[in-house]
Amino acid sequence: MTSPTLWRRALLTLALLVSASFVGVFVLGGGRGDASRASGSTEVASASLTSQDSPTDADELAAGRTLFVENCSSCHGISAEGGVRAPPLLGVGGATVDLWLSSGWMPLAEPAAEPERKPAKFDRAQVLEIVRYVTSLAPTTPGNPGIPFGLEISHADVAEGFSLFALNCAPCHTITGAGDALADGIQAPSLHGVTKTMVWEAIRTGPGNMPRFGPGTISPGQVVDIVGYVVENIQQPVSPGGFSLGGVGPVAEGFVGLFVGVGLTLLAALWVGDRNEPEEDEGHEGHEGPEGGDGHAGDHTGIQHGELAHA
């Protein structure tokens, strides 16, 4: 081995180690105070969430680039510069890219389709690779957050989260997080089946028609509180009263009350009471009864004829 080769190898090894520790700190570490339950958490703490790791080594980005070129570039452009059908992705930040991929909105089912929730096409590792690649294409615009690695919600104040959720989220997503239809075909999706990271990212990036809640309106601690409430009480609501009927409220309760409740009581009434005997023309206003026929087979009402009665 010549010394330039050795030198290059040593540099490469060092670069790898540095990147690995960098990644390791973000993936495994955390608890830098950004997950504090105090609503007064400072911007510094949130900065640790919003800064993204930006490895510069070309090999690191190769996998992400391949995935991007194959799945995204046809609409978003080969360098994410955007196109007729899709916005540019330069500087959008890791959180946006992660959310749109994890939720399955992207890639679209067809180029002209509306984004819809579906199982994510990529696994977590692939998503991170794509995120890494896209965020490397341009510096992230200040204010666009990155993926909140190490998001810790175990200390979330769910009571505060509930209150904030009711004020800011319930008008679109419903107070039980069931989701509902907005105007012009848009939909506020259900909050079931989403991860805590996705909830965080949605609040901070405001995807689609969803408004954007930055640190000035909902502080970092408050976001954690809301995420905690969603994960704990929206996704696993306390339902001691029985089947929760989809959390849709009086609409579903009305159906059950009428069809099951009144329906069962009507069935009971059918059993307890009698049925009508087939009518005779006697004493009946204006309707012709069945022909008489012979005395037995034709006569069914039988109070006077010794036949079956109380049908």
Partner 1 sequence: MIDPIFNWFDVRLGISGSGRRMVNKIFPDHWSFLIGEIALYSFIVLLGTGIFLTLYFVPSSKIVPYDGSYGPLRGQLVSEAFASTLNLSFAVRGGLLMRQMHHWAANIFVGSIVVHMLRVFFTGAFRKPRELNWIVGSTMLILAIFNGFLGYSLPDDLVSGTGIRISFSIVESIPLIGSYMAFFLFGGNFPGTAIIPRFFILHVLILPAVIVGLLGAHLGMLVRQKHTQFPGKGKTSRNVVGAPLWPNFAAKSGGFMLLVVAVTGFLSAAFQINPIWLYGPYVPYKVSYAVQPDWYMGWLDGALRIMPSWEIVGFGHMVPNVFFPAILLPGITFGVLQAWPFIEARLTHDYADHQILDRPRDKPKRTAFGAAVFAFYFVLFGASATDVLANYLSISLNVVLTSFRFLVILVPLIVYPVAYQICKELQSVPTAGQRKRANVIMRSSEGGYTTVPSEPRPGDVELSLDPLPLDEDVELVPVMAGAPAGGDDGSTGPGGSTGGGSTGGGSTGPGGSSRSQPPPAEDQGARPKGGIFTIPRDYR
Partner 2 sequence: MPENAGGPTGSPEQVPSGHKKIPVSAARPDAPQFQVAAKNPRRAERVAVSGFLLSAAGFAGFGACYWQNYSNFWLAITFTIGFAGLGYGLVVWGKYLMPRGPFEETRHSLEPTPTQREEFMEDFASRGKMAVERRGVLLKALGLASGILGVVLAFPLIRSLGPLPKTTLRKTAWRKGSYLVDITGRKIKPADIEVGGFVTVFPPDDVGGAYSQTMLIHVTLLESGYMKPPPQFAQQRATWAPLGYIAFSKVCTHAGCPVGLYEELTEKMLCPCHQSLFDVTDAAIPIFGPAPRPLPQLPLYIDDEGYFRAQDGYNEPVGPGYWERGND
Question: Which residues form the interface with partner 2 (CB under 8 A)?
Answer: 143, 167-168, 170-172, 182-184, 186, 206, 208-214, 216-217, 240-242, 267, 270-272, 274, 302-310
Contact between 102 and 211 under an 8 Å Cβ cutoff? The reply is no
CA dihedral (269, 270, 271, 273) positive or negative: positive
In 3D space, the residue among 147, 231, 145 whose CA is nearest the CA of residue 195 turns out to be: 231
Distance CA 272, CA 295 (A): 30
Minimum distance between the CB of residue 169 and partner 2, rounded to whole angstroms? Answer: 9
Contact flag: residue 109 with partner 1 (CB under 8 A): no
Judged by CB under 8 A, the residue of 58, 84, 112, 282 near partner 1 is 282
Check binding of 4 to partner 1 (CB under 8 A): no
Sorted by sequence, the CB contacts under 8 Å of residue 202 that are 6+ apart come out as 99, 194, 210
Nearer Cβ to partner 2 (2/243): 243
- CB of residue 238 vs partner 1: minimum separation in angstroms? 7
Scan residues 288-307 and list those touching partner 1 (CB under 8 A). Answer: 288-294, 297-298, 300-304
Cα(296)–Cα(26) distance, integer angstroms: 92
Residue of 87, 171, 193, 211 interacting with partner 1 (CB under 8 A): 171
The alpha carbon of 115 is separated from its chain's Cα centroid by a whole number of angstroms, namely 13
User: Which of partner 2, partner 1, none interacts with 216 (beta carbon under 5 to 8 A by kind)?
Assistant: partner 2
Contact with partner 1 (CB under 8 A): which of 46, 48, 96, 174? 174
Please enumerate in sequence order all residues whose Cβ is within 8 A of that of 174, keeping only pairs 6 or more positions apart, or say none.
180, 188, 247, 248, 249
| 20 binding partner (options partner 1, partner 2, none; Cβ < 5 to 8 Å by kind) | none
Q: Which of residues 238-277 bind partner 1 (CB under 8 A)?
A: 238-245, 247-251, 253-258, 260-262, 264-266, 268-277
At 75, list the tokens: 């609409």
